[in-house]
Amino acid sequence: MATEYRVKSERSFDEVCDKIREVVPLNGFSILSEIRTSDILRSKGFEYPNLRTFDICNAKYAHEALSLDNRVETLIPCHLIAKSVEGGTEISAQLPAEIFRTLKTDKTEQNAAFLDEVETKLKTIVDSFI
């Protein structure tokens, strides 16, 4: 299984970032922070294509994941990435199910439906750019 889900859009970087701000709440998530990663790198003298990290969270999902195994603290919040690429913008999301499975807990397979639900929501957000 993959640990990320990625699509390419012909929209500009700024259009994608604006749409992320619209689409995320419509899918039950909140944007906790917006990190202008490429701006930070540029301020330190490093060139990098436009890159923005959106930390997004659904409190219900976060609480459920934490109750399964508190080691998922390092996976919360979910990351949604926008990156300028030739011909448009790439949008990607970290998918928690496979990462969660690496924790090797008895509860992982019992909660596959929960993990699939989270991943479906994240893929829906990313797919809104196709």
CATH code for position 74: 3.30.310.70
Domain that includes residue 21, residue range? 4-127
CB-neighbour burial class of residue 67 (10 A; exposed 0-12, middle 13-18, buried 19+)? exposed
Instruction: Name the domain count of the chain.
Output: 1
Which range among 43-47, 83-87, 121-125 shows the weakest confidence by mean pLDDT? 121-125
The number of residues in the chain equals: 130
pTM of the model: 0.87
The pLDDT assigned to 96 comes to: 81
Cross-strand partners of 53: 35, 81
pLDDT, tens digit, 9 for 90 and up, residues 38-68: 999 999 999 999 999 999 999 999 998 888 8
Structural element, H or E, at residue 8: strand 4-9
